[in-house]
Structure 1
Amino acid sequence: MSVKESVEHEAHPNDRRDFEREVDPAKGKPLWQRIGWLLIIWTGSVLALFVVAMLLRMFMTAAGMKSH
């Protein structure tokens, strides 16, 4: 890349306006809604972990491994 091309690719000060126009979607949402999504995602991850643990336990029991 030549010097001229690198100068052409430098950020122009007016390009910052594009970033300033981007709005954080969470800022417009009420707190209860954001906390609700947090709880839904957390509950889903805990349930997924429970399912995986029960499947592992089931396969281990089927293979003759017991915890006593």
Structure 2
Amino acid sequence: MKELLRTVDPVLLSWLTALLADAGIEAVVLDTYTSILEGSIGAIPRRLMVVEEDYDAARRILVEAGHFPRP
């Protein structure tokens, strides 16, 4: 697994996960339960992960969506 991004914004994570799913890329959000345990005050970011083989395509999708600087 390779990390695409970290954020405390659950809406952004949901939207980006849906974008990736539309492209046929399965994404996994890590640290969700840890974030909930700390009281959802936004101190612990959640990580959006994909398998290494999908990383380049997933990164391209996030760049086009405005969530990565262009290379």
TM norm. shorter chain > 0.5? no
More strand by share: 2
Which protein is richer in helix relative to its size? 1
Q: Point out the structure with max Rg over C-alpha.
A: 1
Normalised by the size of structure 2, how large is the TM-score? 0.23
